[in-house]
Structure 1
Amino acid sequence: MTHYDLLLIGTGSGNMFLDKRFAGLKTAIAEEWHFGGTCLNVGCIPTKMFVFPATLAEQVTQADRYNLTPTHPKVDWAGLQNRIFSRIDAIESGGREYRSSDRQPNITVVPEHVHFTGQKTVRTASGEEITADRIVIAAGAHPIIPDIAGLDTARIDTDDYPVFTSNTVMRRAEQPRRLVIIGSGIVAMEFAHVFAALGTEVTVLARGARLLGNIDEEAADEFTRIFDSSHTVLHGAQSKQIDIADGGVTLTLEPSGRLAEADLPETITADGVLVATGRVPNTAELDVEAAGFDTTDGHRLSVDDYQRVLSAGQPVPGVFALGDISSPHQLKHVANHEAKIVGRNVAADVAAGSPGSARANDLAAVNHHAVPGAVFSSPQVAYVGMTEAEATEAGHDVTIKVQKFSDVAYGWAMADDPGIVKIIADRSTRRILGANIVGHEASMLIQPLIQAMAFGQKADEVATGQYWIHPALPEVVENALLGLEFDD
């Protein structure tokens, strides 16, 4: 049995806080997978490096909308992969080498899976017992695999099996000619855009009428209308059975029961299937029940405002968690924020003496107000705060404005590209409660609204108290703000 002052499980955002403040601690880092976690290796960064050229390719094929002659660009799949992953892999290996080298003499990297056997004890895959005074759990999440007849879950994401998840789809040796995507959330919509724009024949299986069903209904409806107009989506569909033969896949379909009617083919064939039905925290894999840690909805680690892990509703002295394993927001920027909070609080806990002895006044609380997100599909989607339904249910007297991109001059320049800005505000306080943008560069256009919510600025003051460049696209945000109706 080896004892450490600090044990870190996971090297995504959790690897960020481990700086010179902890140089005097004997520290272990347990990482069975890639250094850098989901975002660097299989998530945010490589997907956007695929999205950008895919969007360029899509724009080229749609050039006739702008009185230009369209062409159909050819994709150098191997070259694209090499450009992206040569950078990604170098960062991953550099991070691993740094933590493993003599430059970090107080740190031991444990390149194995670990699971809890007690509140402060873990066992490695090779059978070593590790104990620690303080533990930070940042082990992330993994793709959900639905229960489908004929699906060999043990072979998913292996080289010779044509069913895969976001963990491997970007590294497939060959770009699929025909791809079925199971799911209608963020991951599904981003990869549907990437592969369709790069020339793959993509079919999306969506169980419901709306794509991106977890965002504001009006925004989801707008996205669904636009996306359906240029992609093949089978609504109300789910896969009943998967059959693999000669390297191809045949899916037998059935109605999901979420639509009154669903006109579906009996089967659909493809070269590959991408399972994109959501992600679940890695709590079961860590056996957190053996440690007595609380979970929310049976999966997510329960933490308090200081990111301390809870057991029977009380913080476990010296045990913290961050990121997808504990956060209600599976977002990298949220995990990064939580990592900063954990770093500060672990340092305060160490300074106080025994684990759990830091005073509340010395701890920092997490801030989950005005958490934004974006979907890098076609069109882009960005959102922050409450949906209209949530704001109404919370008792707000809401005022709402929906502004079309085509209402402003830059929208005309884009040949009246579809898109909307929807802002939800409180009629009496004039505060913005939530916002949704569907359309070109939504992820950038929403930033003034995120800032307004974060700093408690009133919507009408944001609209009138600053210059808005004319005729830039942010005028659509300005006009939406001006269109809100407030009490006198």
Structure 2
Amino acid sequence: MRHHDLVVIGAGSGNAVVDDSFADLDVAIVEERWFGGTCLNAGCIPSKMLAYTAHVARTVREAGAYDVDAELRAVRWREARDRVFGRLDAERDSGRRSRMADDAVTVYEGRARFTGPRALRIDRADGALDVSAGQIVIAAGGRPLVPGPVTEAGLPYETSDTVMRIEAPPRHLAILGGGYIAAELAEVFAEAGSSITIVEKEERLLGPQDETVAERFTELVRNRYDLRLGREVTAVGGRPGGLRLTLDDGSTVEADMLLVAVGRAPNSDRLNLEAAGIATHDDGRVIVDEHQRTTAAGVFALGDICSPVPLKHVANREAEVVSHNLRNPDGLISADHGLVPAAVFTQPQIASVGATEQDCREKGLDYRAGMASYSDIAHGWAMEDTTGFCKVLAEPGTGRLLGAHLMGPQAPTLIQPLVLAATMGIDAVTLAKSPYWIHPALTEVVEKALLDLRL
């Protein structure tokens, strides 16, 4: 049995664990599918590159609002797809080649599963290999969830892993799910020419968002898509290219393609964790402590397989923590998941950090809400924006920021001063009144929302 000082399972954010400080160790990386992980190959990066293409198309189509005569002829889907994945596949292959050429790191291409404490069997194309390690990092990520009625039908469907690489946009795309993945990909394919039906079991899209964001976004897209809210799919029938979804109210949806975007599941069930004494939560996430250590000695975990916040920037932070802790057992550090910002790259864009207003009510918190609209500021006038807004939540008396939510152009950028203030303990009054806020810039919507708190 080959023994390594360290084995990392997963070459997404797991690949970032190993840097030059590990040069004195015998290190191995096991990757079953994609170097660069979901983010590079089928997640945040390609979806945002295609979302930006959709944004450009929509800008051209709506140019008349700014007294500009323009005509959108078409989104050249195949060329756009090849531009995106031509670049990303090259990045993936370059990263793979770089690791395989690294004399300090052994790369195993295959699926790893535990056979005992810090012992693995790696199933490769050329046969199984058993290895052991002094320390192991689990960074095996997650995969799209697919409901039973879809798998049982035996008919073709797409997920976020596959749909961005299709040859042509469907005439009619049915999307199962109403979260951020569904919302972003709906816009991508709508601008590429597909008609869209969204089937979502909740009564509004983007349910985990602040209630004002979810309500307003849902209303904004009602005239763009066929929304079947409060509904679930009970059966999928028809034929490839001519699907029929039956919903729980007896209604049907006809589509030539189905995209399943109901959520993601950690890949923990593929690793035989019980053999190594590694415990999981009820939802399958690997249990870790504040230092990313699992319940098995010498085994760490990071990213979507364990994190309560399955986002790439969280996985990257956890990779930094694990990298440090592997080398510094007497000086462990941790990642704080209390204030993690997130964004949805739709039109309008959405960004959030901290508590929602419904969170505050459910927890019985004393809070105040401040609101400002893009139409309240001069740059909003320039953009002819009538729907964007900023909402901030703060504690009376102290002014402590509890949460912030934006919907509108550049929301993921505009929220960053609020993320910084909440993280660093800067109160709302200080943030609003101490720094200068550039006029006329979009950041004034944040300033006005803070002042609207009237603390």
Q: TM-score, normalised by structure 1?
A: 0.89
Which residue number corresponds to residue 364 of structure 1?
333
Report Cα offsets for 1:398-424 as digits up to 9, x if no partner.
Answer: 011122221212222222331221101
Cα distance, 1:292–1:447 mapped onto 2, change above 3 Å: same
Deviation at 1:342, TM superposition (A): 0.5
Task: Map residues 69-468 of structure 1 onto 2, 5 A cutoff.
Answer: 69=69, 71-101=71-101, 104-125=102-123, 126-148=127-149, 151-152=152-153, 162-245=156-239, 247-255=241-249, 266-310=251-295, 316-348=296-328, 358-359=329-330, 362-468=331-437
Q: Give the paired residue count.
A: 452
Provide the rounded CA distance (Å) in 2 between the counterparts of 1:479 and 1:399. Answer: 14
Residue 61 of structure 1 corresponds to 61
Write out per-residue CA displacement over residues 42-66 of structure 1, whole angstroms, 9 at most, x where no aligned residue.
0111111100010111122222333
Q: In structure 1, what is the Cα distance between the partners aligned to 2:187 and 2:150?
A: 28
Query: Which string of whole-angstrom CA distances, capped at 9 and with x for unpartnered residues, describes residues 287-318 of structure 1?
Result: 222322121224111111111112xxxxx322
**Letter matched to residue 387 of structure 1:** T
Deviation at 1:333, TM superposition (A): 0.6
Unaligned runs of 5+ in 2: none
SS, match of residue 11 in structure 1: coil
Post-superposition Cα deviations, 1:411-462, rounded to whole Å, max 9, x if no partner, equal 2222233122110111121111101111112111111101111111011111
Distance 1:185 1:70 in 2: 32
CA positional deviation for 1:150: 6.6
Alignment of 1:31-50 (within 5 A): 31-50=31-50
**8 Å contact 1:150–1:241 — kept in the other structure?**
no
Residue 26 of structure 2 aligns with an amino acid whose one-letter code is: K
* Shift, 1:163, TM fit: 0.8
Task: Measure how far apart 1:149 and its partner are.
Answer: 5.8
- Distance in 2 between residues matched to 1:25 and 1:395, nearest whole Å: 51
TM-score (norm: length of structure 2): 0.96
SS of residue matched to 1:5? strand
Find the residue that maps to 2:128 and give its secondary structure. Answer: coil
Q: How far apart, CA to CA, are the structure 1 residues paired with 2:9 and 2:74?
A: 43
Mapped partners of 1:130, 1:238: distance in 2: 45
SS of the aligned residue for 1:346 comes to: helix
Give the C-alpha shift of residue 8 in structure 1. 0.3
Task: Rate the CA distance shift 1:128–1:233 in 2: closer, same or farther, 3 A.
Answer: same
Does the residue aligned with 1:301 lie in a helix, a strand or coil?
coil
| Deviation (angstroms), 1:246 | 5.1
- AA aligned to 2:60 is V
The CA RMSD over aligned residues, in Å, is: 1.6
**1:238-291, Cα deviation, whole Å (9 max, x unpaired):** 222112425322212223xxxxxxxx7x32222211000000111101122232
Distance 1:463 1:188, change over 3 A: same
Query: In terms of mean alpha carbon deviation, does 288-297 or 377-386 score higher?
Result: 288-297
Q: Distance in 2 between matches of 1:292 and 1:428?
A: 48
Distance 1:220 1:318 in 2: 43
- Unaligned runs of 5+ residues in structure 1 are 154-160, 256-263, 311-315, 349-357
Question: For the Cα contact (< 8 Å) 1:162–1:271, is it kept in 2?
Answer: no
AA aligned to 2:212 is E
In the TM superposition, residue 227 of structure 1 has moved relative to its aligned partner by 2.0
The answer (yes or no) to whether the contact 1:182–1:274 under 8 Å persists in 2 is yes
Tell me the distance in 1 between the aligned counterparts of 2:150 and 2:44: 31
| Whole-Å separation in 2 of the counterparts to 1:464 and 1:73 | 48
Checking the alignment, whether the CA contact within 8 Å between 1:227 and 1:379 is kept in structure 2 is no
CA distance in 2, matches of 1:433, 1:442: 18
Q: Which amino acid aligns with 2:131?
A: I
Equivalent residue number for residue 18 of structure 2: 18
Q: Which amino acid aligns with 2:149?
A: I
Structure 1 residue 193: deviation in Å?
A: 0.8
1:355 corresponds to:
none
Percent of pairs with identical residues: 44
Q: Contact (CA 8 Å) 1:227, 1:378: kept in 2 or not?
A: no
